[in-house]
Chains A and B, each alone.
Chain A
Amino acid sequence: MPTLEIDGQRTEVPDGLTVIQAAERLGIEIPHYCWHPALSIAGNCRMCLVEIEKNPKLQIACNTRVADGMVVHTTSEKTKAAQRSVLEFLLINHPIDCPVCDQAGECKLQEYYMDYDRQRSRFPLPAKVRKKKAIPIGPLVMLDQERCILCARCTRFLDEVTHTSELAIYERGDHCEIELAPGKVLDNPYSGNVVDICPVGALTSRDFRFRARVWYLERADSVCGACANGCNMEIYHREDRIFRFQPRLNPDVNQYWMCDAGRLSYRELQGEGRLTHPLVRGEDEFVPSTWATAIGQVAGRLGDLAREHGPGTVGIVVSARAPNEEVFLLRRLGAALGARVAAVSWSPPGAFHDDFLVKADKNPNTQGLRLQGLAPDGEADQLLEMAGAGRLIALILHRTDLTAWRDTVAVRAALERVPCLVVLDTDRREASEYADVVLPIATYAECDGTFTNHAGRVQRFRAAVQPPGEARPGWFVLGELLVRLGGRESFASAETVFAALAEECAAFEGLSYSALGADGHPAVSGAP
């Protein structure tokens, strides 16, 4: 392992590492535009030029391999002069339209100008090369050629990651421009990633642009719930509205990327149909209620019916959209009521999937159900059959709308025959129309919890925003219900629920929120 010195710090690093990577390990950021750890080395922006002793010329840190005895200076006068010069070159033909640019606030030109340049322009404004602006190049992406610094991150992503090559560089010199290849549209399932990796305002999101200045937004670490892959992401939010999802690095799951469907799935979390109050059936329509009344009513009726009719007459259907914590509490609820607990994991037939990130299973926690012994194996159909035959006395539907994925007529008829139907869900759906009580719960963006992805990796998500109205986290509602039914334990947080799960369920043994950390942790393999 070579030992080198960067800015006076000696470090030993593995062979084959580049200077930029070695510096990163020491916490020294060498400014760069074109270099991206997941893409090939282009070496074109020249921002990472550094002084390396015994080298007559400055070297680009992104393409220079470490060598034993190497002495690197990232803040020497020569290095600083090169950084200033490259920034000046980058800015002479740049439109400097930051006030109307959506990238402002997360723009590497702005940031590096402040950090490394700060000189006045020596270039007359009318002399700037003009190019095309605001070109929609795909459903998600807007292109501004004037702001482009031609780092080729987008073209490399499309060549090397998606292998779709929609974009290319045309023309030469300072007339170079990024443009769609003839006949192509940037509409591959991962197109939004080019916006993330564009270091400047050349590629902006048509979904997000002009909706918020990024410096007003807060972020929360989360995991995408749009499919079983569990891509790590950040939720950008403000005043309890979600503005965008952006992928968060997890080398074991999604690297730097996420799919467009997942990226846009934040919309589904704040749709028109969100339930905001507990609803209790009145004469012929729902009446908004309080939690105390609703929970009291549900606990009272379920408890009475279960006692009256004996074990196996109450059903619980839990979907693979439920976090591990809720699944755990529903199992406890099942035990308390002597109920049959069935799992469902439904995805639209023929749903898009590929061999990269997008999974055919559109549920975030199917594997979590399995690990708690709830395989989606048709038990739900038996419950429906029982209901249809009038033998099911009460049914709890948790985050699932059975009418959406079974023979509608039969399901409706079955649900109508259930004397007590309780629905816990985020949104008003058809099944809730048959309910006696509807309990509004939080989406995964509104509560803490964990999903177990397709590969058995348990990953945390965190509450980014408040649930709307009176909606509450699912673990909280189920916990209250259990207490009302005589449970001895009350849970203060999703974390304590998870601790109880880890205590009880072999697959989660030894895991805790702190053990999961930011990147998640595989469930105990081989556990039932």
Chain B
Amino acid sequence: MAERLLLRCLDIPDLRRLDVYTAHGGYEATRKALTTCSPEQLVDVVKASNLRGRGGAGFPTGLKWSFLPKQVAKPVYLAVNADESEPGTFKDRVIMEQDPHQLLEGIIISAYAIRCHTAYIYIRGEFALGAERLEAAIAEARSVGLLGRDILGTGFDLDVWVHRGAGAYICGEETGLIESLEGKRGYPRIKPPFPAVYGLFGCPTIVNNVETLACVPHIVLRGADWFRSIGPEKSPGPKLFCVSGHVERPGTYELPMGTPLREIIYTHAGGIRGGRKLKAVIPGGASMPVFTAEEIDVPMDMDSVQKAGSFLGSAGIMVMDETVCMVWAAFVIGRFFHHESCGQCTPCREGTGWLEKVLRRLEFGEGSATAADVDLLLNIAGNMMGTTICALSEAAAMPARAFATKFRAEFEQHATLGRCPLRPVVEPPRRHAHA
């Protein structure tokens, strides 16, 4: 894509400052939306744009907004999901640190569209700089009447609060996020009811991802047709791809939705580091099924990746070269999800720990791994699918299942050898400490 929109910050120095941002057309979309559109018109244009959530699930944003009850006495809340907790994902971070006003604009317009007067940005606790820059941007916007009472003289009021998380993956799940915002343990809620009906403090609530909201001002300025013209019509738009791992140029790339994975890895990210061979790629963050090197000719949009057997997820592309042990990779991911399971639902609470234990004994020869462990792993993972309140159980099961299926021979070799054939014998990583 010739023109960068979401990542204009890479082209314009100091874009995070309000004066720079406005000098480059900032808040024009806000002015246009608040002064010339009704909330209903905005919902319609976002619907027409086919914008789908960038957090991982890819749910149509306009449709989500339209689930809000039409007549309601309670306040409506907008909760901005800035938790970005999916391993391999670092796109929202760039927006918040380098271009916070873009997000604020998205928040103001979206809040206006859903008749919300209080928005919370739930930001990952580790993003100290992002939180600081957001606070600064909010103060700037407030000082010129872009936030607070009677925004731009339109009579629309909006307050935005930054709420820092305390380090739990599960608080990126929208109802876990809501519980956490309420000051409770980050336990995802059983659905129904969905947040649009019963969300934050029991009020109708829309939870949207940072990148999703950042798309909204551009849709307002350029129209739904323009947005739909980028990439495949059913999941269109500019998209941020986070490339990490064994590539020459890891980083966040803004490319049209549907850019082939091979092109992202080999053209934009400079190919495999040191000229080595590609072994595996996770296309959508740690929770998504892995692709083998043979499977990367896939357009990176929601429907195409799903058709290819994985998910676009948060577009966290994790590239692994030939030196990486697949059991080890599965173990690292398994260990993460074991650590992050909230512990509410039985299959996830118990299954994540069990998966880690089986992967650990395969990789580190702890206990006595057998060839049957591969089938055990697949069986445990299967039992964790579709049986819990939220998707964390699947997030742990899907990668384990994909690694063990697609690299089955390597897994079996581990069992036969009683150790890892690829990596030198090392102390196994310690189990996560729990107080």
Query: Are B346 and A174 interface neighbours, CB within 8 A?
Result: no
> Could you say which residues of chain B place their CB within 8 Å of the CB of A46?
345-347, 387-388
Query: Are B376 and A89 interface neighbours, CB within 8 A?
Result: no
**CB nearest to A151 among chain B residues:** B346
> Could you say which residues of chain B place their CB within 8 Å of the CB of A88?
383
A63 in contact with B339 given A86-B387, A174-B349 (CB within 8 Å): no
Query: Are A173 and B338 interface neighbours, CB within 8 A?
Result: yes
Query: Are B350 and A174 interface neighbours, CB within 8 A?
Result: yes
Which of A122-130, A264-272, A361-369 faces chain B?
Answer: A122-130
A90 in contact with B350 given A41-B190, A44-B389 (CB within 8 Å): yes
Bound state CA distance, A124 and B341, in angstroms?
22
Q: Which of A44, A63, A123, A149 contacts B354 (CB 8 A)?
A: A123
Bound state CA distance, A86 and B347, in angstroms?
6
Mask, A32-49, CB within 8 Å of B = 1, is 000000000111111101
**CB nearest to B170 among chain A residues:** A172
Is A171 an interface residue when CB atoms closer than 8 A count as contact? yes
A173 in contact with B346 given A43-B389, A63-B190, A82-B387 (CB within 8 Å): no
> Could you say which residues of chain B place their CB within 8 Å of the CB of A188?
none
Is A246 an interface residue when CB atoms closer than 8 A count as contact? no
Q: Which of B342, B367, B388 contacts A124 (CB 8 A)?
A: B367
Q: Which of A92, A127, A175 contacts B434 (CB 8 A)?
A: A175
Query: Are A176 and B185 interface neighbours, CB within 8 A?
Result: no
**CB nearest to A89 among chain B residues:** B350
Is B357 an interface residue when CB atoms closer than 8 A count as contact? yes
A174 in contact with B367 given A44-B344, A44-B389, A82-B387 (CB within 8 Å): no
Chain A, interface SS category: loop
Query: Are A92 and B354 interface neighbours, CB within 8 A?
Result: yes
Is B352 an interface residue when CB atoms closer than 8 A count as contact? yes
Query: Are A49 and B349 interface neighbours, CB within 8 A?
Result: no
Q: Which of A44, A56, A173 contacts B353 (CB 8 A)?
A: A173
**CB nearest to B347 among chain A residues:** A89
Mask, B417-435, CB within 8 Å of A = 1, is 0000000000000000011
Q: Which of B339, B367, B383, B435 contacts A173 (CB 8 A)?
A: B339
Is B237 an interface residue when CB atoms closer than 8 A count as contact? no
Is B153 an interface residue when CB atoms closer than 8 A count as contact? no
How near does chain A come to B348, taking the closest CB pair, in angstroms?
A: 8
> Could you say which residues of chain B place their CB within 8 Å of the CB of A175?
343, 434
How near does chain B come to A177, taking the closest CB pair, in angstroms?
A: 9
Bound state CA distance, A60 and B191, in angstroms?
11
A89 in contact with B383 given A122-B376, A173-B349 (CB within 8 Å): yes
A86 in contact with B354 given A63-B190, A172-B434, A173-B340 (CB within 8 Å): no
How near does chain B come to A99, taking the closest CB pair, in angstroms?
A: 23
**CB nearest to A174 among chain B residues:** B353
Query: Are B343 and A89 interface neighbours, CB within 8 A?
Result: no
> Could you say which residues of chain A place their CB within 8 Å of the CB of B258?
none
Is A150 an interface residue when CB atoms closer than 8 A count as contact? yes
Which residues of A (4-44) have their CB < 8 Å from a CB of B?
41-44
Which residues of B (202-246) have their CB < 8 Å from a CB of A?
none
Bound state CA distance, A124 and B367, in angstroms?
9
Is A205 an interface residue when CB atoms closer than 8 A count as contact? no
| Central interface residue in B346, B354, B376, B435, by most chain A CB within 10 Å | B346
Is A93 an interface residue when CB atoms closer than 8 A count as contact? yes
Bound state CA distance, A93 and B350, in angstroms?
8
Interface size on A, residues (CB 8 A): 37
Bound state CA distance, A115 and B435, in angstroms?
36
Is A404 an interface residue when CB atoms closer than 8 A count as contact? no
Bound state CA distance, A171 and B354, in angstroms?
17
Is A287 an interface residue when CB atoms closer than 8 A count as contact? no
A173 in contact with B343 given A89-B351, A92-B350 (CB within 8 Å): yes
Bound state CA distance, A88 and B344, in angstroms?
16
Which residues of A (74-121) have their CB < 8 Å from a CB of B?
82, 85-86, 88-90, 92-93
> Could you say which residues of chain B place their CB within 8 Å of the CB of A41?
190
Bound state CA distance, A89 and B349, in angstroms?
8
Is A1 an interface residue when CB atoms closer than 8 A count as contact? no
Is B270 an interface residue when CB atoms closer than 8 A count as contact? no
> Could you say which residues of chain A place their CB within 8 Å of the CB of B383?
85, 88-89
How near does chain A come to B64, taking the closest CB pair, in angstroms?
A: 21
Is A301 an interface residue when CB atoms closer than 8 A count as contact? no
Is A58 an interface residue when CB atoms closer than 8 A count as contact? yes
Which residues of A (481-512) have their CB < 8 Å from a CB of B?
none
Is A132 an interface residue when CB atoms closer than 8 A count as contact? no
> Could you say which residues of chain A place their CB within 8 Å of the CB of B342?
172-173
> Could you say which residues of chain A place their CB within 8 Å of the CB of B376?
122
Bound state CA distance, A57 and B357, in angstroms?
27
Is A389 an interface residue when CB atoms closer than 8 A count as contact? no
**CB nearest to B338 among chain A residues:** A173
> Could you say which residues of chain A place their CB within 8 Å of the CB of B339?
172-173
Query: Are A89 and B340 interface neighbours, CB within 8 A?
Result: no
Is A169 an interface residue when CB atoms closer than 8 A count as contact? yes
Which residues of A (143-176) have their CB < 8 Å from a CB of B?
149-150, 168-176
Q: Which of A57, A172, A176 contacts B340 (CB 8 A)?
A: A172
> Could you say which residues of chain B place their CB within 8 Å of the CB of A44?
344-346, 389
How near does chain A come to B356, taking the closest CB pair, in angstroms?
A: 10
Query: Are B347 and A58 interface neighbours, CB within 8 A?
Result: no
Query: Are B352 and A173 interface neighbours, CB within 8 A?
Result: yes
| Central interface residue in B338, B347, B350, B367, by most chain A CB within 10 Å | B350
Bound state CA distance, A124 and B360, in angstroms?
14
How near does chain A come to B183, taking the closest CB pair, in angstroms?
A: 13
Is B309 an interface residue when CB atoms closer than 8 A count as contact? no
**CB nearest to A127 among chain B residues:** B357
**CB nearest to B352 among chain A residues:** A173
Bound state CA distance, A86 and B348, in angstroms?
10
Bound state CA distance, A212 and B346, in angstroms?
31
7 contacts between A and B (CB under 8 A): A58-B387, A85-B383, A89-B346, A123-B354, A150-B344, A173-B343, A176-B343
State the B residues within 8 Å of A (CB): 168, 185, 190, 338-354, 357, 367, 376, 383, 386-389, 434-435
Known: A45-B345, A150-B343, A171-B434. 17 other contacts (CB 8 A): A42-B190, A44-B345, A46-B346, A56-B386, A57-B386, A86-B387, A93-B350, A93-B353, A150-B346, A169-B343, A173-B340, A174-B341, A174-B343, A174-B349, A174-B352, A175-B343, A176-B343
State the A residues within 8 Å of B (CB): 41-47, 49, 56-58, 60, 63, 82, 85-86, 88-90, 92-93, 122-124, 127, 129, 149-150, 168-176
The 5 closest A-B pairs by CB, nearest first: A176-B343, A89-B350, A173-B341, A175-B434, A43-B190
